[in-house]
Structure 1
Amino acid sequence: MVPLFFLAVLVLGLLVFRDYGLSIDENQQRDTGMISLKHVALKVAPAWVKADHDFDKYNTPLAEYYDRDYGTAFETPVCLAERLLGLSDGGDKFLFRHLCTFLVCFGGLIAVYQLAARRFRNWRLGLLAALWLLLSPRLFAEFFYNDKDAVFMALFAIATNTGVRLLLRPTARRAAWHALVCAITIDVRIMGVLLPLLTVALLGWRALRGEVRWPRAVGTSALYLVVLAGAVVALWPYLWPAPLDNFVAAFEKMSAFRWGGMVLYRGDFIIATDLPWHYALVWMAITTPVLYVGAGLLGLGLVVRQVVRQRWRLWQDEAGLQDVVFLGLFAGPLLAVIALHSVLYDGWRQVYFVYPAFLLLALRGWVAAAAWRPRWAWWPKALYGATALSALVIAAQMVRDHPLQNVYFNVLAGRHVAERFEMDYWGLGYRQDLEYIIEHETRPVVTVFAPGPSPAEFNRLMLPAFQRERLQFVDKPENADYFITNYRWHPEPYPYDFEVHQVRADGRRVHSVFRLR
Structure 2
Amino acid sequence: MFFGLLLALGIGLHRDYGVSWDEVNNHLNGLVSLNHVARQLAPDLARRVAAGQSPIPAIRDFPDSDHGPIFEMAAALLGYLFTDGDSRGVYFVRHLLAFFTFVLGTGALCYIGRQRFRDWRWALLGSLLLVLSPRFFAEAFYNGKDVVFMSFFTLAVAGLLWLRQKPTVGRVVVHGLLTALATDIRLQGLLVVLPTLVVLLSLPAPHYPVGRRALLAVGYLGAALGGTYAGWPYLWATPPTELWRAAQQLGNYPWPFTVVYLGQLVPATRLPWHYIPVWLLITTPVAYSALALLGLSSSLTQLIRRRGRGLRSAVGQLDAWLALWLLGPLVLVISRQAVVYDGWRHLYFIYPALLLFAVSGLRDLLRLTRPAAPLRGLAGALMLAAGLELAATTIRMVRMHPFQQVYFSFLPAPVVERLFERDYWGLAYRQGLEWLLAHDTAPKLAVHEQWHYPLYNNALILRPEQRARLHYEPDRVAGARYFMTGYRWHPQSYLDSMGREIHVIRVEGVKVLSIFERNGRRSPSSPSGPGKP
Q: Secondary structure at the match of 2:494?
A: coil
Mean CA deviation greater in 222-231 or 275-284: 222-231
Mean CA deviation greater in 245-254 or 16-25: 245-254
Cα distance in 2 for partners of 1:414, 1:27 equals 30
Contact 2:423 2:488 in 1 (8 A): yes
After TM superposition, the structure 1 = structure 2 runs for residues 468-507 of structure 1, keeping only pairs within 5 Å, are: 468-475=467-474, 476-496=476-496, 498-507=500-509
Call closer, same or farther: CA 1:412–1:472 in 2, change over 3 Å.
Answer: closer
1:30 maps to: 27
Cα distance in 1 for partners of 2:87, 2:217 equals 45
1:457 maps to: 456
1:173 maps to: 170
Q: 2:147 aligns with which of 141, 147, 150?
A: 150
Contact 1:404 1:429 in 2 (8 A): yes
Contact 2:368 2:375 in 1 (8 A): no
Cα distance in 2 for partners of 1:102, 1:178 equals 22
Q: Deviations over 1:174-210 (max 9, x none)?
A: 21111000001101111111111222134445659x9
1:230 maps to: 226
Call closer, same or farther: CA 1:451–1:170 in 2, change over 3 Å.
Answer: same
Provide the identity percentage. 37
Q: What amino acid is aligned across from residue 393 of structure 2 in structure 1?
A: I
After TM superposition, the structure 1 = structure 2 runs for residues 247-396 of structure 1, keeping only pairs within 5 Å, are: 247-312=243-308, 315-373=311-369, 374-375=373-374, 377-378=376-377, 382-396=381-395
Contact 1:260 1:272 in 2 (8 A): yes
Call closer, same or farther: CA 1:60–1:467 in 2, change over 3 Å.
Answer: closer
Q: What amino acid is aligned across from residue 443 of structure 1 in structure 2?
A: A
Contact 2:291 2:362 in 1 (8 A): yes
Mean CA deviation greater in 307-316 or 116-125: 307-316
1:125 maps to: 122
Call closer, same or farther: CA 1:213–1:131 in 2, change over 3 Å.
Answer: farther
Contact 1:238 1:246 in 2 (8 A): no
Call closer, same or farther: CA 1:22–1:11 in 2, change over 3 Å.
Answer: same
Contact 1:70 1:250 in 2 (8 A): no
Contact 1:34 1:55 in 2 (8 A): no
Q: Which sections of structure 2, spanning at least 5 residues, go unmatched?
A: 522-533
Mean CA deviation greater in 386-395 or 146-155: 386-395
Contact 1:233 1:239 in 2 (8 A): yes
Q: Deviations over 1:197-247 (max 9, x none)?
A: 222134445659x99764553332221112112111111111125685555
With structure 1 as the length reference, what TM-score do the two structures score?
Answer: 0.94
Cα distance in 2 for partners of 1:280, 1:221 equals 35
Q: What amino acid is aligned across from residue 20 of structure 1 in structure 2?
A: Y
Contact 2:80 2:90 in 1 (8 A): no
Do structure 1's residue 139 and structure 2's residue 136 form an aligned pair?
A: yes
Q: What amino acid is aligned across from residue 488 of structure 1 in structure 2?
A: R
Q: Deviations over 1:434-457 (max 9, x none)?
A: 011011112111111111153112
Cα distance in 2 for partners of 1:322, 1:466 equals 55
With structure 2 as the length reference, what TM-score do the two structures score?
Answer: 0.91
After TM superposition, the structure 1 = structure 2 runs for residues 59-78 of structure 1, keeping only pairs within 5 Å, are: 59-78=56-75
Cα distance in 2 for partners of 1:411, 1:200 equals 42
Q: Deviations over 1:1-49 (max 9, x none)?
A: xxx1111111000000000001110010011110111111112222322
Question: How far off is 1:431 after superposition?
Answer: 0.4
Q: Secondary structure at the match of 1:320?
A: helix
Question: How far off is 1:465 after superposition?
Answer: 1.6
Q: 2:86 aligns with which of 89, 92, 95?
A: 89
Contact 1:207 1:217 in 2 (8 A): no
Q: Secondary structure at the match of 1:88?
A: coil
Call closer, same or farther: CA 1:56–1:455 in 2, change over 3 Å.
Answer: same
Contact 2:414 2:510 in 1 (8 A): no
Q: Deviations over 1:326-375 (max 9, x none)?
A: 11111111111011110000000011011111111121111111112433
Cα distance in 2 for partners of 1:58, 1:390 equals 51
Cα distance in 2 for partners of 1:98, 1:254 equals 27
Cα distance in 2 for partners of 1:114, 1:484 equals 45
Q: What amino acid is aligned across from residue 305 of structure 1 in structure 2?
A: T
Cα distance in 1 for partners of 2:494, 2:238 equals 51
Question: How far off is 1:255 after superposition?
Answer: 1.9
Call closer, same or farther: CA 1:21–1:414 in 2, change over 3 Å.
Answer: closer
Q: What amino acid is aligned across from residue 464 of structure 2 in structure 1?
A: A
Call closer, same or farther: CA 1:391–1:238 in 2, change over 3 Å.
Answer: same
Question: How far off is 1:382 after superposition?
Answer: 4.0
Question: How far off is 1:83 after superposition?
Answer: 1.9
Cα distance in 2 for partners of 1:243, 1:325 equals 35
Call closer, same or farther: CA 1:102–1:218 in 2, change over 3 Å.
Answer: same
Question: How far off is 1:385 after superposition?
Answer: 3.3
Question: How far off is 1:173 after superposition?
Answer: 2.2
Question: How far off is 1:155 after superposition?
Answer: 0.4
Contact 2:31 2:56 in 1 (8 A): no
Do structure 1's residue 410 and structure 2's residue 412 form an aligned pair?
A: no
Contact 2:413 2:509 in 1 (8 A): no
Contact 2:365 2:380 in 1 (8 A): no
